[in-house]
Amino acid sequence: MIVNSARFVISNTDVSKCPSEMRHEFAFIGRSNVGKSSLINMLTGQKSLAQTSSTPGKTLLINHFLINDQWYLVDLPGYGYAQRSKEGRKEILRIIKDYILNRAQMTTLFLLIDGRHKPQKIDLEFMDWLGENSIPFAIVFTKLDKLSANAAKHATGAYCAELLERWEELPPVFRTSSVDRRGRAELLDYIDELCKLPLE
Ligand code: GDP
């Protein structure tokens, strides 16, 4: 897929106020600082469509971007941000889960995982919750330019092996870097294929 246009449409905290048209929607989520904004900017070819962590006052909103006048890319709030209060973290999870459980047009959720780290409890628990609720998702390893080719292969392989101890099969897995742009074509092609399917 070639991305010809990407524009911000709306931000909100309430799933009932998200755009009402039935378009395919692909949401991106992960722990704060995982590289989500950088990945969204890399995929859309725009420098600052999504606000990076360094942006002061970065909001905790569900952000809708319309891509190619065809599908929505949704930037969900990052979870597990240690500097927020327990109440604040709970509120973010409530917004996220409300969106995921109630958004019929969400075709796939891309769960971003920093490719350098071992599986973290918070991500594993979140994946278990996705599985329990039959939410279609894919794993996107980020920041792989920070590892050598061998180390990246080893780290992501070990991560997947650990997941297979919990599950019978893996979801689709993408290996990316916003710096060297690896994984971009694979991710966009995957979205392109899913966009061809009718929305129920
Ligand atoms: P977010 O909080 O998940 O939206 O994360 P950001 O996109 O703001 O990225 C957090 C930090 O990681 C920033 O300092 C980015 O420059 C850095 N970063 C994000 N993606 C990559 C990547 O693919 N490679 C490298 N080397 N750094 C990255």
Question: Is 80 close to ligand 1, i.e. is its CB under 6 Å away?
Answer: no
What pLDDT, on a 0 to 100 scale, did the predictor assign at position 92? 86
CA of 141 to the centre of ligand 1 (A): 12
What pLDDT, on a 0 to 100 scale, did the predictor assign at position 50? 86
What pLDDT, on a 0 to 100 scale, did the predictor assign at position 53? 58
pLDDT digits (tens, 9 = 90+) for 141-173: 999 999 999 999 999 999 999 999 989 999 999
Tell me the whole-structure pTM to 2 decimals.
0.95
Partnered with residue 165 across adjacent β-strands are: none
Question: Is 60 close to ligand 1, i.e. is its CB under 6 Å away?
Answer: no
What pLDDT, on a 0 to 100 scale, did the predictor assign at position 82? 63
Nearest CA to ligand 1 atom 25: 143
CA of 81 to the centre of ligand 1 (A): 15
User: How many Å apart are CA 27 and CA 101, to the nearest integer?
Assistant: 12
What pLDDT, on a 0 to 100 scale, did the predictor assign at position 126? 95
What pLDDT, on a 0 to 100 scale, did the predictor assign at position 60? 72
What pLDDT, on a 0 to 100 scale, did the predictor assign at position 61? 87
CA of 137 to the centre of ligand 1 (A): 21
Tell me phi and psi for residue 66, to 5 degrees.
-95, 125
Instruction: Report residues of the chain scoring pLDDT below 70.
Output: 52-59, 82-84
What pLDDT, on a 0 to 100 scale, did the predictor assign at position 106? 97
CA of 93 to the centre of ligand 1 (A): 21
Tell me phi and psi for residue 156, to 5 degrees.
-70, -35
Nearest CA to ligand 1 atom 22: 143
